[in-house]
Structure 1
Amino acid sequence: MGCGTIGYMKIHEWEPFLRTWSAERDAARRAEEPAQPTLGWLGFDPAPQERIAALETRLGAVLPPSYRAFLEVTDGWRWAGEFVELLSPADRVGPVRELTAFLHEDLTMWEREDLDADLDEEDEDEEEEEGEEQAEYQSARWNRAVQISLTGDQTWLLLDPGDVDGDGEWAAYRYSAWSGYGPQRYDSFAALMRAEYQSFRDLRTPRAS
Structure 2
Amino acid sequence: MKIHEWEPFLRTWSDERDAARRAEEPPEPPLGWLGFEPAAPERIAALEARLGAPLPPSYRAFLEVTDGWRWAGEFVELLAPAAEVGPVRELTASLHEDLTMWEREDLDADLDEEDEEDEDEGDEEEGDEEEYESARWNRAVQISLTGDQTWLLLDPGDVDADGEWAAYRYSTWSGYGPQRYDSFAALMRAEYQGFLKLRRPKAP
TM-score clears 0.5: yes
Alpha-carbon separation, structure 1, partners of 2:193 and 2:30 = 21
Q: Secondary structure at the match of 1:13?
A: helix
1:184 equivalenced with 2:179 (yes/no):
yes
How many percent of aligned residue pairs carry the same amino acid?
A: 85
Q: Secondary structure at the match of 1:117?
A: helix
Q: Aligned residue for 2:35?
A: 43
* Letter paired with 1:141: R
Alpha-carbon distance, 1:103 to partner = 0.2
Alpha-carbon separation, structure 2, partners of 1:179 and 1:80 = 17
Alpha-carbon distance, 1:38 to partner = 1.5
1:93 equivalenced with 2:85 (yes/no):
yes
Alpha-carbon separation, structure 2, partners of 1:51 and 1:115 = 38
Q: Aligned residue for 1:144?
A: 139
Q: Secondary structure at the match of 2:17?
A: helix
1:107 equivalenced with 2:102 (yes/no):
no
Q: Secondary structure at the match of 1:44?
A: coil
- Equivalences for residues 42-191 of structure 1 within 5 A: 42-126=34-118, 127-128=121-122, 129-191=124-186
Q: Aligned residue for 1:5?
A: none
Q: Is the 8 A contact 2:150 2:171 kept in 1?
A: yes
Q: Secondary structure at the match of 2:187?
A: helix
Alpha-carbon separation, structure 2, partners of 1:80 and 1:101 = 22
Alpha-carbon separation, structure 1, partners of 2:164 and 2:82 = 17
TM-score, length basis structure 1 = 0.93
Q: Secondary structure at the match of 2:169?
A: strand
Of 14, 20, 26, the match for 1:22 = 14
| RMSD (Å) for aligned C-alpha atoms | 1.1
Q: Does 1 or 2 have the higher relative contact order (CA < 8 Å, sep 6+)?
A: 2
- How many correspondences in the alignment? 201
Alpha-carbon separation, structure 2, partners of 1:131 and 1:91 = 39
